[in-house]
Amino acid sequence: MLAYIWAEDKEHHIGLNGHLPWHLPADLAYFKKITKNHPIVMGRKTFDSFPGLLPQRHHFVLTNSIDLKTKFKDDDRITVMNNIDDLSSVIEQKDLIFIIGGASLFAEFADKVDFLYVTRINSIFPGDTKMPIIDEKLFELITKKNGTVDEKNKYPHVFEVYQRKGISQ
């Protein structure tokens, strides 16, 4: 099964200059909790935005970079792939795999995604990358939880999970 996980502001921004436009520790903790022990799929720019490999998750990175493939050739925590067909075959073999960005990967697999994990931030931030439009009529909301606004989490936010209509968990 394929899931997307992302956070977006009121204008659907998901990135600015290769990074998140906001700092929301509750969302980072949510991301860690949900994706832990599951493979994560990303493009090179998303991978480059991390401080390093995320623990307890296998990383699949789609890129044309030979350097990245060479750098991680002996690291069993990461698989560098050069084409979408190879990535598609991996996704079909996994029980639950998360696509975490960027926008082009979200757009590429929109017709195959089963679950959407979205953090909606009730603010507007500058951004240069937006989440591709997903046909919400194809999904039903299965959980919704308000996040806590506090000293560290200054922006109102909601954690929502959607499931594609017609599939069973």
Mean pLDDT, contiguous 10-residue spans, the chain (169 residues): 97 95 98 97 94 94 90 93 85 87 94 96 97 94 97 98 86
pLDDT at 169: 57
Q: Rounded to an integer, what distance in angstroms lies between the CA atom of residue 138 and that of residue 32?
A: 27
Q: What total of structural domains would you count in the chain? A: 1
Cβ atoms of 20 and 128 closer than 8 Å: no
Return the closest-CA partner of residue 106 out of 124, 129, 72, 138: 129
Domain encompassing residue 46? 1-8+36-96
Cβ atoms of 14 and 103 closer than 8 Å: yes
> Considering the domain boundaries, does residue 61 fall inside one?
yes
Which CATH number covers residue 48?
A: 3.40.430.10
Give, in order, the Cα–Cα distances in Å from 83 to each of 86, 90, 100: 6, 11, 17
pLDDT at 89: 82
> Considering the domain boundaries, does residue 74 fall inside one?
yes
pLDDT at 91: 80
